[in-house]
Structure 1
Amino acid sequence: MSRPLVVTDCDEVLLHFMRHFRDWLGEHHAIAVHMERGFRDALRHADSDEPVSEVQAWDLLNGFFEGEMARQTPIDGALAAMLELQRSADVVVLTNIADRFNAARRAQLAALGLETEVFTNQGPKGAALKRIVDRFAPSRAVFIDDLAHHHVSAADLVPGVFRLHLCGEPALAPHVPCALQSGHAHARIDSWADALPWLTATLQEERP
């Protein structure tokens, strides 16, 4: 019999990202990050408050992943939750970073105690999620992500997968559009202490 499947994002779900990206940008690039704004408007030159161009923002993002992933720290309870879920389910990571960072992400998580397969992706995650679900053919599946538009994509392409909207960065969570409120997630829970019981019950088929 197939096992349940958990497909989880990494940044702001398992590991803190924006707080460390913000610190690095301030230290080395004189760029301020305003977490209350969307990503494209959050990065601003500290001396002028002018927004960083989209091209530069992506270059900076890739620069962080090229050399600064060691800065990232686990979100409270996230890795322990993954290890607990691995006892009875397959757990994989679906992360929106360039494919060339796949091995580094696997190594990053392994160094923190989480051995898991990593799938890298660009753009909406629904198609990649569908490929993963088709490959594993799980008895039941849950998708976890911090961004609402990925839940929209997942709901469209793999509607049978349960969807948990979780943003583990307190400075970001109040400003992230809620996929539960828009009808694209089954739950919105921003702490792992509360998310793990929901996930366990969902994977054990204790909810419809």
Structure 2
Amino acid sequence: MKPLLITDCDEVLLHMVRHFGSWLDEAHDIEFGLSHHDWSRAMRPRDGSTLTADAMWGYLDGFFPAQMGRQTLVPHAREALAALADVADIVVLTNLQDHCQQHRVAQLAEHGIVHRVECNQGGKGRPVARLAEEFGASVVVFVDDLPQHHESVARAAPHVFRLHMVAEPAMAASVPPAPHAHVRIDDWREARRWIAARFAAGEPAPLVEALGEN
């Protein structure tokens, strides 16, 4: 069986937070600090008010799918996926509501990325395990910007290699490497080489730690 690459989209294939911040500024007079990975600290209304968690999620729902056209391609992502697709299957696993699925498919296609897209809510461990079983892949690599998803995958699918990538330079410097990822790489040229090497070796990820299911 072919190897399998399961990759996130926002801040991995497409820039999102910089454009989300611009939209918050223009449409809602909210400052968005790119250096904060914690959105409760990053989103600051200029009138001095405090946003509830529901309000923050509401703004995110306002961005997807209506403002998705603002998003731009992460450098070298398209070329890396095109090269890896010669030897592997590729699935984009994105944490969006299901009604955004076709919007994401069309959005990625506009950037020359045409692969299966799965929408997900919550941890990514179980869907990654499901996809690995579905494809019966000899080797699976998972790429995501959020540490909690690497932990989730480490619990549910420990045989999957986990690459932590934060493609937004303004954010990357303030985000430490995910403790449950095998490697942190923020550039697709280097990531492509690392992933290709894992595929060529043909071995599953080493079991570094014993974790319960998630």
Q: What TM-score does the superposition give when structure 2 sets the normalisation length?
A: 0.91
- Preserved contact between residue 65 and residue 101 of structure 1 (Cα < 8 Å): yes
Q: Which string of whole-angstrom CA distances, capped at 9 and with x for unpartnered residues, describes residues 101-123 of structure 1?
A: 01100110011111111111111
Q: Paired residue for 1:174?
A: 173
Classify the secondary structure of the residue corresponding to 1:19.
helix
- Say if 2:21 is the partner of 1:22: yes
Deviation at 1:175, TM superposition (A): 2.0
Q: How many percent of aligned residue pairs carry the same amino acid?
A: 44
Q: Paired residue for 1:55?
A: 54
- Say if 2:201 is the partner of 1:202: no
Deviation at 1:206, TM superposition (A): 7.0
Q: Structure 2: how far apart are the matches of 1:51 and 1:32? A: 12
- Preserved contact between residue 24 and residue 31 of structure 2 (Cα < 8 Å): yes
Q: Structure 2: how far apart are the matches of 1:193 and 1:32? A: 32
Deviation at 1:47, TM superposition (A): 2.6
Q: Which amino acid aligns with 1:199?
A: I
Equivalent residues in 2 for 1:111-150, closer than 5 Å: 111-150=110-149
Q: Paired residue for 2:211?
A: none
Equivalent residues in 2 for 1:52-91, closer than 5 Å: 52-91=51-90
- Preserved contact between residue 138 and residue 202 of structure 2 (Cα < 8 Å): no
Deviates more, 1:39-48 or 1:106-115: 39-48
- Preserved contact between residue 147 and residue 176 of structure 1 (Cα < 8 Å): no
Q: Which string of whole-angstrom CA distances, capped at 9 and with x for unpartnered residues, describes residues 133-168 of structure 1?
A: 111110100000001110000001100000100110
Q: Structure 2: how far apart are the matches of 1:4 and 1:122? A: 25
Deviation at 1:40, TM superposition (A): 2.4
Q: Paired residue for 1:162?
A: 161
Q: Structure 2: how far apart are the matches of 1:105 and 1:47? A: 33
- Preserved contact between residue 35 and residue 171 of structure 1 (Cα < 8 Å): yes
RMSD across aligned C-alpha pairs, in angstroms?
Answer: 1.3
Q: Paired residue for 1:46?
A: 46
- Preserved contact between residue 9 and residue 92 of structure 2 (Cα < 8 Å): yes
Q: What TM-score does the superposition give when structure 1 sets the normalisation length?
A: 0.94
Instruction: Give unpaired runs (5+ residues) of structure 2.
Output: 207-214
Classify the secondary structure of the residue corresponding to 1:144.
strand
Q: Structure 2: how far apart are the matches of 1:206 and 1:91? A: 16
Instruction: Give unpaired runs (5+ residues) of structure 1.
Output: none
Q: Structure 2: how far apart are the matches of 1:120 and 1:40? A: 24
Q: Structure 2: how far apart are the matches of 1:31 and 1:167? A: 23
Q: Which string of whole-angstrom CA distances, capped at 9 and with x for unpartnered residues, describes residues 27-55 of structure 1?
A: 0011110122212221110232x442211
Q: Which string of whole-angstrom CA distances, capped at 9 and with x for unpartnered residues, describes residues 76-129 of structure 1?
A: 111111111111100110011111101100110011111111111111110111
